Amino acid sequence: MATETSVDYDRTKELKQFDDTKAGVKGLVDAGILNIPKIFVRPAEDLATEELNSGHKKVEVPIIDVSNIGDSIRRQEIVNEVKIASGEWGFFQVINHGIPLSVLDEMIEGIRLFNEQDLELKKELYSRDSAKKVKFHSNFDLYTSKTADWRDTLQLTFLDSDPDTSQMPSVCRKSTMEYFKHMKKLGETLFELLSEALGLQADHLNSMGYSKGCSIVTHYYPPCPQPELTLGVRKHADAGILTMLLQNHIGGLQVLHNGQWFDIHPTLGGLVLSNDKFKSVKHRAISNHVGPRISVACFFSGHASLLDKPFGPIKKLISEANPPQYEEFLLKEYFAKFFSSSLDTKPPIDYYKLVHQSKLKQFDDTKAGVKGLVDAGILNIPRIFVRPAEDLAADELNSSQKTIEVPIIDVSNIGYSIRRKEIVNEVKIASGEWGFFQVINHGIPLSVLDEMIEGIRLFNEQDLELKKEIYSRDSAKKVKFLSNFDLYTSKALDWKDTLQLSLLDFDPDPSEMPPVCW
């Protein structure tokens, strides 16, 4: 398989060709493909990690029976079950929720009919316009993600209490509106339970308008000829306040729990819910040889009137012992971050973490970098450097460090035409297969290399006040010292300090450079 660095692979062109068909993933299946296009193939490192953790594990996600919720004793038991499931899992199924099985079945059938109708009818709704309330597309982050996912999507946004049904596809209009009616009612009940589980009055979250608006996002996952190479939906945490998921009989949903992926098997009539007092759990959907798998996610994000209002920690839950974890933000800004990025990036909510941001600023303001922490004699690294639990768990599975010989290219005798062609071929192979290689006999004296290393050591180990003079995050500066250029946007910091010298001129000004390493 050619790598993405191959000169004959134009990823952007292939993405646009796929997008321009407006046929989605189902269009590929209908065309009879036997191999999935490269835009759907996951990175080699992801596939390698997956192979180490290939045994799918089964676990019973909490199932909460919400029948007899009107009985005060049973209600308190349900509230406690919701509290435990939300805190430990961030994911649970509800049964006996009062929605007729026929309503659930007709919703699934309506989505199947929409996706399997004449393509020209679907094309009328195909769009990437974020302002459209009803649209059909494949992969909202198609142009920003590492890889595309194996699914097509019909998205219906109901941020008003009385949505305009005329915009909805006729083939699934009736079933969707009936489903929406029941979802609103169940949503109100669940927000009551979550309020009580948080120690608030039952009407607290409903009174804030959270149950008044939602988006219904339906996914259609056709059979995949190579499911081991792609996913239906990559790992992510939902953007909404509360998500209710309906799925048909074909499995594929997985949740990340304690660093491991667990299958969530469909329960007849069951709805899966996900909602840092309560977790927002990471989950994904795998691809299958069989299909279609159909899922219907109802994201409760509040009424349209809430988009311009500040959101933040619930005041009644804040105390000296329980300080706020997030700063206030506008809901529309939050959703703009989510939909303008890809599922590969960190969740938008992380940008608003107060503790994390303040700790980052404290570290940055020292201008001492990582070496400053070591000089201070720390025994434990600050939390801002600790990698996410799922990354650490994946590393543990692959803990034995492997030694391999990266290509070494000898560039001596490069002036001889025959040897030069050999070197060119070695560079081509190494660049295509590795993107990484070493060169030896390059003509640079060993003393120059050693003195360069020594100069950088002297710079970093000199008096801190001298280093502080050039500490900066200004991208325009040609010479600067800093720690972690992506300090405020990364999931976790790296254990390094950096001296950056931009020598874009053939005759750089040495006076701008630190004297200790001239």
Tens digits of residue pLDDT in 249-273: 888 888 887 777 888 877 777 666 6
Q: Is the dihedral of CA 512, 515, 516, 518 positive or negative?
A: positive
Distance CA(507)–CA(461), nearest Å, equals: 28
DSSP H or E run through 305:
none
Q: Starting at the earlier edge strand, list the strands of the sheet with 152-158.
A: 63-65, 91-95, 271-274, 242-247, 293-300, 214-221, 152-158, 134-137
Mean pLDDT in residue range 5-21: 82
pLDDT in tens, 145-171: 989 999 999 999 876 656 678 889 999
**In the 8-state DSSP scheme, what is residue 502?**
-
Would you say residue 275 has pLDDT above 60? no
pLDDT in tens, 56-89: 556 677 889 999 999 999 999 999 999 998 887 8
Mean pLDDT in residue range 19-24: 97
The two beta strands, 310-311 and 253-257, are unpaired
Distance CA(269)–CA(98), nearest Å, equals: 10
Query: 8 lies in a domain?
Result: no
Mean pLDDT in residue range 129-144: 92
- Domain check: are 180 and 73 in the same one? yes
Residue 462 has a pLDDT of 95
- What count of other Cβ atoms lies within 10 Å of the Cβ of residue 320? 5
Query: 518 lies in a domain?
Result: no
Mean pLDDT in residue range 468-487: 93
- Domain check: are 47 and 172 in the same one? yes
Query: 495 lies in a domain?
Result: yes
Mean pLDDT in residue range 451-465: 95
Q: Which residues neighbour 114 within 8 Å (Cβ) at sequence distance 6 or greater? A: 122, 136, 154, 169, 171, 172, 218
Distance CA(112)–CA(392), nearest Å, equals: 39
- What count of other Cβ atoms lies within 10 Å of the Cβ of residue 108? 20
- Percent share of the chain, pLDDT over 90: 49
- Domain check: are 301 and 427 in the same one? no
Query: 338 lies in a domain?
Result: no
Distance CA(245)–CA(296), nearest Å, equals: 6
Would you say residue 400 has pLDDT above 60? no
Q: Choose one of 266, 286, 305: the last residue of a domain.
A: 305
For residue 454, the one-letter residue type is E
Q: Choose one of 286, 305, 324: the last residue of a domain.
A: 305
Q: Is the dihedral of CA 299, 300, 305, 308 positive or negative?
A: negative
Would you say residue 457 has pLDDT above 90? yes
Burial label, 151 (beta-carbon count in 10 A; 0-12, 13-18, 19+): buried
Instruction: Reduce the DSSP state of residue 404 to 3 states and report it.
Output: coil
- Domain check: are 261 and 383 in the same one? no
Q: Three-state SS across 346-381?
A: CCHHHHHEHHHHHHHHHHHHHCCHHHHHHHCCCCCC
Residue 290 has a pLDDT of 83
pLDDT band per the 50, 70, 90 thresholds, residue 326: low
Helix-then-strand count for the chain, H and E? 15, 19
Distance CA(466)–CA(182), nearest Å, equals: 66
pLDDT mean across residues, the chain: 84
Query: 322 lies in a domain?
Result: no
Query: 3 lies in a domain?
Result: no
| Cα–chain center distance at 356 | 19
Would you say residue 7 has pLDDT above 50? no
- Domain check: are 219 and 77 in the same one? yes
- Written as six digits, the tokens of 463 are 């008096």
- What count of other Cβ atoms lies within 10 Å of the Cβ of residue 245? 22
Least confident of 42-51, 149-158, 404-413: 42-51
- What count of other Cβ atoms lies within 10 Å of the Cβ of residue 1? 9
DSSP letters for 240-271: SSEEEEEE-SS--EEEEETTEEEE----TT-E
- Written as six digits, the tokens of 170 are 């006729």
Can you say whether residue 141 is alpha, beta or left, with left for phi > 0 and alpha for psi between -120 and 50 degrees? alpha
- Domain check: are 49 and 147 in the same one? yes
- Domain check: are 123 and 217 in the same one? yes
Residue 52 has a pLDDT of 44
Query: 314 lies in a domain?
Result: no
Q: Choose one of 305, 332, 356: the last residue of a domain.
A: 305
Q: Does a cis peptide bond (omega within 30 degrees of 0) precede residue 292? A: yes
Cβ-contact 105, 210 below 8 angstroms = no
pLDDT in tens, 332-372: 676 666 656 555 555 666 666 666 777 888 999 999 999 99
Residue 253 has a pLDDT of 87
- Domain check: are 290 and 391 in the same one? no
Residue 288 has a pLDDT of 83
- Percent share of the chain, pLDDT over 70: 79
pLDDT band per the 50, 70, 90 thresholds, residue 276: very low
Per the structure, the complete domain to which residue 395 belongs is given by 379-512
- Domain check: are 401 and 298 in the same one? no
Q: Identify which of 338, 336, 334, 312 has the alpha carbon closest to the alpha carbon of residue 323.
A: 312
Distance CA(173)–CA(164), nearest Å, equals: 11
- Domain check: are 392 and 290 in the same one? no
Letter string b/e over residues 159-193, b meaning 16 or more CB atoms within 10 A of that residue's CB: beeebeeeebbebbbebbebbbebbbebbbbbbbb
Which residues are bridge partners to 245 per DSSP?
A: 272, 297
Would you say residue 483 has pLDDT above 60? yes
Residue 491 has a pLDDT of 81
Residue 381 has a pLDDT of 93
Which residues are bridge partners to 260 per DSSP?
A: 257
Distance CA(79)–CA(198), nearest Å, equals: 9
At 293, which CATH number? Answer: 2.60.120.330
- Written as six digits, the tokens of 111 are 């989505």
Query: 368 lies in a domain?
Result: no
Q: What is the total count of domains within the chain?
A: 2
pLDDT in tens, 295-313: 998 888 765 666 667 666 6
